């Protein structure tokens, strides 16, 4: 190739996308390129040290111009346009008028003339994946004609006259077209990497207030802010980075506040509830939560430490200062009925001030291999594709939320791939292709792992018991959780993402059991009084007998106490109220447990 026709160094530098550098490198040995993937985005172009952005068409135009090509045509279904070049100087009778309809048959003749010509020219076939929808009868013949040209075309001056296929997916062209064809190169165009996003950030930064002042006054702080913008936009298209900058400029945000614009763009919500939290309420949360979840002071304290860390955006900060992981992750483990679900609900009200920001998924409903489709949505082409997934839809509607995944060990192992992506990247892609962000959500997993173990011959054996102290219970349960993820599930990477966020709950001890009983009994008495204005009196002996009856077996925790209270108290009470004909505001009732163990309800004035 002559020096005159060599590509300039500024277009082949390492900051150019890899696919662009490959086009330059292989234009002398490949006659056609199939570009697929991120084809509808914008791309940075470095012209004389100044960065601007353009569509794929404009990028290819710059690429070809710098490489010495004189003509560049673009075909879109039924129409052909000249991107650059004076067509009257191109000896090709097939060049149509600007508004003239062009069939695939005619386009094939034009391609044949262009490929066989002696002037450097290129043709871009845009929306190639849609040709079959518009002209399917001609498509096979057209593909064959261009395939033949890829093989028979001759290079001159050290390069080919090029044809670019622009496709949505790699397999939108038949496999035979590129398979074992040395003249065709398939080039995926990925989402912008770190370097490309940095170029975009430098190009759009001047749109924002304070960008130039920060660059002039504190270059180090300016560079750090650019890096923050680049890191927080990982996974976005280049065009979306421009949208973020436009959104920030519209909202009057300074360049130093670009993180708020990124959050706004991702979540679609300008308000940030995390910035409005009453931190004193969270600071005083130990007493409040311990009153709601009785007997779990250590679990409450550990959970609050993680929440406090989340408020200051320090979850995972040791790995990256600009990470997009969920706000907080907790793994609640321990015996059944000890308050794991109750603590998740109480945390929701403590943080957000409302139970509306609470989502619960019973993982026993997701124990089939295809269960991931319920969460993410069916893939394209399947029934329900347009509906979306239960998890992705819910988080898209409520990004600021606490999500409880109850009894995680009952989910199908395939579901773990979903959790791994959330814990790693803080985002999921739904079946519809939408990206949903979990960066402002708290994830809570609950599990009964480590309490029982299945016997090889059937049945279960108890691994922990109330006879053990909390330290022994915690150590045993944590070890069993590690064994489950490492050896049974063979997913140790899940443990790495959970870190030290495993919160072990203790058994309900006798002292706490009596407190739970008193709280539940008070709920019943209050409900009866508020709803029916019936005052219920219970003597001390009956209260003591009732407490002993409902707290005798603590193996089922707080739920077991509630179930026993219903059996020994609520059911007999309801029968006696009906028998006495009690109505709103009519009676005072005294409840007594007789020496025989039977209950008695006495109506008083």
241-292 pLDDT, tens digit per residue, is 999 999 888 888 888 888 888 888 888 776 667 777 778 888 888 989 998 8
Does 229 score more than 70 pLDDT? yes
Q: What is each CA distance from 513 to 92, 550, 592, in whole angstroms?
A: 92, 9, 21
Q: How confident is the model at residue 404 (pLDDT cuts 50, 70, 90)?
A: very high
Which segment of 203-217, 291-305, 379-393, 417-431 scores lowest on mean pLDDT? 379-393
502-512 pLDDT, tens digit per residue, is 999 998 888 88
Q: How confident is the model at residue 7 (pLDDT cuts 50, 70, 90)?
A: very low
* CA–CA separation, 267 and 372 (whole Å): 23
48-93 pLDDT, tens digit per residue, is 777 888 899 999 999 999 888 999 999 988 788 889 887 666 656 5
Q: How far is CA 240 from the centre of its chain?
A: 17
Percent of the chain with pLDDT strictly greater than 70: 87
Does 1 score more than 50 pLDDT? no
Does 459 score more than 90 pLDDT? no
Residue ranges matching CATH 1.10.8.60 in the chain? 510-604
Residue 442 pLDDT:
92
Residue 134 pLDDT:
64
For residues 36-47, give the mean pLDDT. 88
Residue 256 pLDDT:
85
Q: What is each CA distance from 332 to 285, 405, 481, 534, 550, in whole angstroms?
A: 18, 10, 11, 40, 26
What sign for the dihedral angle of Cα 209, 211, 212, 218?
positive
Q: Which CATH class is domain 510-604?
A: mainly alpha
* CA–CA separation, 374 and 431 (whole Å): 10
Which segment of 159-168, 314-323, 463-472, 486-495 scores lowest on mean pLDDT? 314-323
For residues 448-464, give the mean pLDDT. 82
**Which is more confidently placed, 47 or 125?**
125
Three-class SS of 189-214: ECCCCHHHHHHHHHHHHHHCECHHHH
Going by C-alpha positions, the residue among 151, 138, 204 that lies closest to residue 178 is: 151
* CA–CA separation, 260 and 200 (whole Å): 18
Residue 8 pLDDT:
42
Q: How confident is the model at residue 347 (pLDDT cuts 50, 70, 90)?
A: very high
For residues 171-185, give the mean pLDDT. 90
Q: Which CATH class is domain 3-189?
A: alpha beta
Q: How confident is the model at residue 6 (pLDDT cuts 50, 70, 90)?
A: very low
Q: How far is CA 274 from the centre of its chain?
A: 19
544-561 pLDDT, tens digit per residue, is 888 888 888 888 888 889
Mean pLDDT across the chain, nearest whole number? 84
Angle between helical axes of 285-292 and 297-311 (0-180°, round to 10): 140
Does 9 score more than 50 pLDDT? no
* CA–CA separation, 499 and 495 (whole Å): 6
Residue 16 pLDDT:
80
Work out whether strand 460-462 and strand 452-454 pair parallel, antiparallel, or are unpaired: antiparallel
Measured between its terminal Cα atoms, the distance across the chain in Å is 110
For residues 342-364, give the mean pLDDT. 89
Residue 156 gets which letter from DSSP? Answer: B
**Which is more confidently placed, 529 or 505?**
505
Strand order in the sheet with 588-593: 535-538, 588-593, 599-604
SS3 category, 150: helix
Which segment of 138-152, 243-257, 370-384, 521-535 scores lowest on mean pLDDT? 370-384
Residue 585 pLDDT:
64
Which segment of 10-14, 105-109, 383-387 scores lowest on mean pLDDT? 10-14
> 224 Cβ partners below 8 Å, 6+ apart?
none
SS3 category, 97: coil
Residue 135 pLDDT:
64
Residue 359 pLDDT:
92
For residues 429-445, give the mean pLDDT. 87
Q: Which CATH architecture has domain 279-504?
A: 3-Layer(aba) Sandwich (3.40)
Percent of the chain with pLDDT strictly greater than 90: 23
């Amino acid at each position: 190739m002559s020096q005159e026709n060599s590509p300039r160094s500024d277009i082949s530098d390492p900051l150019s996308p890899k696919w662009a550098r490959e086009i330059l490198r292989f234009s002398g040995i490949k006659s056609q390129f199939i570009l697929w993937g991120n084809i509808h985005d914008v791309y940075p172009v470095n012209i004389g040290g100044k960065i601007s952005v353009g569509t794929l068409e404009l990028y290819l135009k710059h690429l070809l111009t710098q490489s010495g090509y004189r003509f560049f045509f673009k075909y879109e279904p039924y129409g052909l346009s000249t991107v650059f070049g004076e067509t009257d100087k191109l000896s090709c009778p097939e060049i149509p008028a600007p508004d003239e309809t062009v069939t695939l048959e005619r386009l094939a003749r034009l391609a044949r003339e262009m490929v066989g010509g002696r002037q450097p020219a290129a043709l871009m076939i845009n929306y190639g994946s849609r040709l079959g929808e518009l002209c399917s009868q001609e498509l096979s013949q057209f593909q064959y004609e261009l395939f033949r040209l890829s093989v028979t075309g001759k290079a001159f001056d050290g390069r080919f006259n090029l044809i670019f296929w622009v496709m949505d997916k790699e397999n939108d062209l038949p496999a035979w077209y590129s398979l074992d064809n040395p003249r065709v190169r398939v080039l995926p165009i990925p989402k912008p990497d770190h370097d490309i996003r940095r170029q975009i950030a430098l190009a759009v930064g001047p749109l924002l207030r304070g960008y130039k002042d920060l660059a002039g006054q504190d270059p180090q702080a300016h560079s750090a802010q650019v890096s923050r913008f680049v890191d927080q936009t990982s996974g976005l298209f280049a065009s979306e980075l421009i949208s973020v900058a436009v959104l920030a400029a519209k909202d009057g945000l300074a360049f130093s506040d670009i993180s708020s614009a990124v959050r706004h763009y991702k979540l679609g919500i300008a308000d940030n509830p995390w910035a409005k939290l009453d931190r004193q309420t969270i600071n005083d949360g130990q007493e409040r939560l311990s009153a709601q979840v009785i007997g779990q002071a250590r679990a409450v304290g550990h959970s609050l430490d993680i929440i406090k860390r989340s408020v200051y955006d320090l979850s995972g900060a040791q790995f990256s200062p600009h990470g997009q992981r969920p706000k907080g992750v907790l793994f609640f483990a321990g015996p059944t009925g000890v308050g794991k679900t109750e603590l998740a609900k109480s945390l929701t009200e403590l943080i957000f001030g409302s139970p509306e920001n609470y989502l619960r998924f019973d993982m026993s409903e997701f124990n089939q291999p295809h269960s991931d489709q319920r969460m993410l949505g069916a893939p394209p082409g399947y029934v329900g594709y347009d509906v979306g997934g239960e998890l992705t839809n819910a988080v898209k509607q409520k990004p600021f939320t606490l999500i409880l995944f109850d009894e995680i060990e009952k989910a199908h192992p395939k579901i773990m791939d979903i959790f791994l992506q959330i814990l790693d990247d803080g985002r999921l892609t739904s079946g519809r292709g939408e990206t949903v962000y979990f960066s402002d959500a708290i994830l809570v997993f609950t599990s009964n792992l480590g309490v029982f173990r299945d016997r090889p011959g059937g049945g279960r054996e108890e691994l922990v018991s109330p006879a053990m102290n909390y330290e022994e219970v915690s150590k045993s349960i944590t070890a069993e959780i590690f064994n489950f993820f490492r050896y049974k599930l063979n997913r140790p990477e899940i443990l790495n993402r959970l870190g030290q966020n495993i919160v072990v709950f203790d058994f309900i001890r006798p002292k706490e059991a009596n407190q739970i009983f008193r709280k539940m009994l008070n709920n019943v008495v209050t409900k009866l009084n508020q709803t029916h204005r019936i005052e219920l009196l219970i003597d001390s002996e009956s209260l003591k007998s009732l407490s002993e009856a409902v707290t005798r077996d603590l193996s089922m925790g707080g739920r077991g106490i509630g179930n026993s209270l219903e059996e020994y108290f609520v059911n007999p009470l309801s029968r006696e109220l009906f028998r006495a004909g009690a109505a709103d505001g009519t009676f005072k009732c005294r409840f007594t447990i007789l020496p025989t163990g039977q209950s008695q309800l006495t109506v008083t004035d």
